[in-house]
Structure formats: structure tokens, C-alpha cells
Structure 1
Amino acid sequence: MTEETPDKRTVRRRLLDARARLTAAELRAAAEALARQSLRLPELSGAAVVAAYVSVGSEPGTRALLDALRERGVRVLLPVLMADDDLDWGEYRGAEGLAPARRGLLEPDGPRLGPAGVLAADAVLLPGLAVDARGLRLGRGGGSYDRVLARLAAHGAHPALVVLLYANEVVARLPEEPHDHPVQAVVTPEGVRRFTAS
């Protein structure tokens, strides 16, 4: 598990508190807008395989986006949390193919592809709590996606990395650690912001 700084814990708590105040109507409207904005991304419109995730609780909604990608013929991979907090992957076959899992997650109930399954992705949609002006993403602190990003780098895989957030979660600067990987873009209900490597 990744060790987090006190600064990151404080930022996480503040952002999670803000998400907890969103109403059901606000969550629905944001999810619909996120799907519309995301589907315009060339990184997704040209992708054959997209690694994504099923949003839960007050996370920026992904369900409409997952279904729209699948309807376009995109192979959508979803994470399966393993006992060591690393991620295995399975294919999204629709909402009926999702099963409840630990930590309140929903995971695909079909065959597993192994942790290396993500290497097939042309784009990876990352969950997060914030991204800063440099494109550095703040996750929940479990380290699962840090492992995924390290695995991609170790295999020379360079899918587009995109994080889905609410507008207030795009901030000027986040605390940085050596394992942090920048993303190429953030999608909010209001639009898309791109980052260039520094």
C-alpha cells in the first residue's frame, strides 16, 4: 500500500466531504454530462479497448459512459480488486454482468484477464479525487492505480490516461510524491482540460 502524506489526507477529506453534499439530482446530471463530454474525446472515439471502472456512491458517474462505449463496439475492461489491493481485469458485459464486491465496489462477474489485462487498453479512465495544473492525479490512497500505472510503464504501454472529476476537483497544485504519474486529460461535466508533459 502506498504511504500517504498528511497533506494528501487533508485534501482527500475535504474533497470527499464536498462529494458527500451532492444531491441525487446533481449526481445524475453530472454523470450524463460526463458521458457526453467523454464520448467526444478522440482518445475514446478511436479506442478499441478502454479500461474503465464502475463508479459508486458520489463518485463522478460512469455507468452511462460504460454503456455508450460498449454500444459503439468498444471492449471495456473493468477492475477487480484483489486481496493485495492490486487489480485484475474483466470484460464489461452490461449492468447485469456486475456483481457486488468488497469495499462496496461493483465488478464484472465473468472470466478474469489477470493484472496484465490492462496492457491491451488504448485508453485508461482513472478514478480520482483531484488533478492539478500539471496533470498529477490524487487517488483515494490505496495504491491500486499506482500499481496499474507502474505496470503500464514497465511494459512500455502508453495508453491515454484520463481522469473523470467534478469541476471543483481540478486544482492549482497537489502534494507530489515520486510514484505519481501525470494524466493527459481530465473530463468534468463542464468540459475537457488537457495537460502537456513537463
Structure 2
Amino acid sequence: MRAPLNHDMSGKAPLRRELLAARRLLTSQDVENAAAVLSSAALVLPELDGARTVAAYVSVGREPGTRPLLDALRERSVRVLLPVLMADNDLDWAAYEGSAHLLPAGRGLLEPDGPRLGPTAVLDADVVLLPGLAVDRRGMRLGRGGGSYDRVLARLSAAGAHPALVVLLYDDEVVAQVPEEPHDHPVDAVVTPAGARRFTT
């Protein structure tokens, strides 16, 4: 598959390729086992423990699994919002009502079948779970490069909303440093199968 013709001046593209290649080596059992451990590690974070509304996402492929965590949050009567990708790559949101209410969407994603709540629904979240490929010791996150979550973070910032930002990763995806651009936001915590780690900003 040819790489997209973008001009990556930040040096992020080679690191993304390396991390995605490592994920492709994981078996389905590896992913499933890690997802259960990730859920347990995330649920003990005080931010999640006290959250009323969590903006999350449905993991796909070899991403660190979120399904057990989504269901555990629902069992705690937490309101879980899931993203709905719009045509311009921005994100709308809808409530998670269980795996039976997830539908296949574009790019291999799964999206909730309920009413769309609008892009500003994320402003109600106490915690935002961000997908990513890596995080460094400063809390800087490397995303996939689509820009959807950059828009979400900019929307939160513009509204003066400060939910806890948490990224779920595999253990070896916590790295010394990721390339940084001016619009990048640090996260507050990372959860891996080995446990949770907080960053001070």
C-alpha cells in the first residue's frame, strides 16, 4: 500500500509506521488478553472512578482493546459517548448502549446506532479516552495523523473544558520522546497492561 502523499515535516510518519508494524505482529489472543488487563488498570484511575460521562472509542483491529472497559463503565452507570466520524473528519458523538448497538462504519470503524448528539457533546465529558500509537515521558501523544482528535482537543480548549485526557496503549508504546507540533496537547495519563502512569504538566 502506498503511503499518503503528505508532507510530514515533524518526523512522525516513520515512527507511526514502526509502531503499526509492531501491532500487526500481535495475535488476536494477545489483543484480547491485553484488553481485559487494560480495563482493570483503567478502572482504578481516580478520574475514571469518579466520572459521570466518559468520551471513549471502540477499538478496532490490533488497537489496545476498549470493549471490556466500555462495558464496565456502563455497568457502573457511567454515560459513555462514542465518536461518529463525519465527512470532514470531525467527530460527532452518540451514547454507547452496548455492543449490540454498534454498526460497521467507514474505514473499518464501529459506531453507535443511536441519535447523534453533535460535536459539542464531548464538552460534557469528565474524561476523554484518546486513541494513540505512543506517548512519551512528557505526556505527548502520537496519534494516527487523521486530525479528528486534534479538532476535539481544540474544541475542548476553546470552550475552557478540562476533562482528564487518558490514552490507552501497549507497554512498549510508552517511549522516550515523540515528535511534537505546536497544536499537540499533552495527556494527563496513560494506561497500559502494566498499569497507569500520570503526567504532570
TM-score (norm 2): 0.96
Computed over aligned residues only, the root mean square deviation of the Cα atoms, in angstroms, reads: 1.1
Residue number in structure 2 paired with 1:96: 100
Question: One-letter code of the match for 2:57?
Answer: Y
What is the CA–CA distance in structure 2 between the aligned matches of 1:4 and 1:110, rounded to whole Å? Answer: 37
Structure 2 match to 1:23: 27
Distance 1:47 1:6 in 2: 35
Q: Which amino acid aligns with 1:98?
A: L
Note the 1:22-41 alignment, pairs <5 A: 22-41=26-45
> Counterparts of 1:97 and 1:120 in 2: how far apart (Å)?
22
SS in 2 for 1:124: strand
- What TM-score, normalized by structure 1, do the two folds share? 0.97
Which digits, 9 at most, give the CA deviation of each residue in 1:22-72, with x for residues without a partner?
011111110000000000011001000000000000000000000000000
> Between the two proteins, what is the percent identity of the paired residues?
71
> Match of 1:110, as an amino acid?
G
1:169 to 168, 173, 193: 173
Pairing 1:36-47 to 2, within 5 Å after superposition: 36-47=40-51
Consecutive aligned runs of 4 or more in structure 1 exceeding 4 Å deviation: none
State how far apart, in whole Å, the 1-side matches of 2:29 and 2:89 are.
32
Q: Is the 8 A contact 2:10 2:180 kept in 1?
A: no
Residues 116-195 of structure 1: pairs in structure 2 closer than 5 A: 116-195=120-199
SS at match of 2:38: helix
SS at match of 1:89: strand
Decide whether the 8 Å contact of 1:163 with 1:187 is kept in 2: yes
- Segments of structure 1 that go 5 or more residues without pairing to the other structure are none
After superposition, the C-alpha distances for 1:136-164 in whole angstroms (9 at most, x for unaligned) are 00000000000000000000000000000
Question: Structure 2 vs 1, CA of residues 135 and 145 (structure 1 numbering), >3 Å: closer, same or farther?
Answer: same
Per-residue deviation at 1:4?
3.8
| Match of residue 105 from structure 1 | 109
Q: CA deviation at 1:6?
A: 5.7
Tell me the distance in 2 between the aligned counterparts of 1:154 and 1:65.
29
